[in-house]
Amino acid sequence: MTVLVTGAAGFIGRHVLEALAGAGRPARGFDLAPLPNAQDHVVGNLLDPAAVARAMAGVDAVIHIAGIGTLWQRDADAYERVNVDGTRRLAEAAKAAGVARFVHLSSAVTLVGAGSHRGAVVTEADRPPEVALFGPYCRSKRRAEEVLAGVGLGEPVVVLPTAPVGPGHRAQDARGTEPMAMLCDLLSGRTPAFLDCRLDLIDVRDLAQAILAALAAPPGRYLAAGHGVEFRALLALLAELSGRPMPRHRVPQRLALAAAVAQEAIARRTGKPPQASVAGVRIAGKSVRFDAGRSLGCLGVVPRPLAASLGDAIQWLQTVGVP
């Protein structure tokens, strides 16, 4: 059974290809970027019907990772084009090709909304109203789930990861995702202060195993969370593992939010992404506790220790000269 992996050249996608290879599963990559040394890879765009058709030919299952994965974009309409319309086109092509399994990578941020209480326990069953979600990225990921249901693929499998971290495959992976960019900024001293909040980090290799297991899982939504950690504790662990100083000044959420608003205004003029987005500050401020016990139990995944994930990430970053 050949598995099509969209977004195969990215941070998560390459780990999924490795997991598939380790399980002896033939895979085909599909990405805007070429994938050196790949035996079966299609370069193309989700919005290009011909490229999607080439990618879909002869596959039996789809793992859909491709999309815009950042909380801020200069062109906010791109979320709708890529994350929603791109998912629709891919799902329609999968249905036409008779694909048996469709695993869609969504995001745990779609489980957190304006009405979520600070420190609340969140599971895969939580579904805040779309209007309550924080920003166009979160709303686009929710709409992409709804698109899958509307296409009539049957009930797909949706995986909702928290923040993936760990070793990458190429230098671009160091800042290719917002969680990894956050680590780079902390390790390089570019973060002057921190928000008192709680994060959940999952090792990208554990996430890849969860996605692989989802190919055989019953239809439904699966939360892929790793370890919840207070930001202060994360800083202490990073300092211990790296031997580098970490920020010591805490910033209140209202000031962090004001700074994010200012950074986004500058980013709209320069095109350079803000270090912290408004949506990111608002989500972090909720400090929810993700409970993935049921999901990970069904998928048979046990997250490795956070120190191991961060240690491997730091070691890999040092080998590629970042930061």
Binned at pLDDT 50, 70 and 90, residue 43 comes out as very high
Q: Are strands 227-230 and 61-64 parallel, antiparallel or unpaired?
A: unpaired
Question: What does the pLDDT read at residue 288?
Answer: 98
pLDDT at 38: 85
Overall average pLDDT of the 206-210 stretch: 99
More confident call, 161 vs 174: 161
Identity of the residue numbered 236? A
Instruction: Give mean pLDDT, residues 93-118.
Output: 97
Q: Find the CATH number of the domain harbouring 221.
A: 3.40.50.720
Report the amino acid identity of residue 316: W
CB 165 within 8 A of CB 313: yes
Instruction: Show the tokens assigned to 109.
Output: 């941020």
Counts for the chain of helices (H) and strands (E), in that order: 12, 14
Spatial neighbors of 142 by CB under 8 A, at least 6 apart, are 106, 110, 130, 133
pLDDT over 90 (residue 323) = no
* Model pLDDT, residue 314: 97
- pLDDT grade, residue 155 (50/70/90)? confident
Under 8 Å between Cβ of 21 and 27: yes
For the question of whether the overall pTM of this predicted structure is more than 0.85, the answer is: yes
DSSP 8-state symbol, 72: -
Q: Return the pLDDT at 171.
A: 86
Q: Give the pLDDT confidence score for residue 207 in this predicted structure.
A: 99
Q: What is the pLDDT of residue 322?
A: 81
pLDDT reported for residue 73: 96
Percent of the chain with pLDDT over 90: 92
**pLDDT score recorded for residue 306:** 99
Q: Is the pLDDT of residue 321 over 90?
A: no
pLDDT band of 226, cuts 50, 70, 90: very high
Instruction: Evaluate if residue 1 carries a pLDDT over 90.
Output: no
| Residue 10 domain boundaries | 3-319
Q: What is the number of structural domains in the chain?
A: 1
Q: Which helix (H) or strand (E) holds 282?
A: helix 278-286
> In this structure, are residues 11 and 164 in contact, taking their beta carbons and an 8 Å threshold?
yes
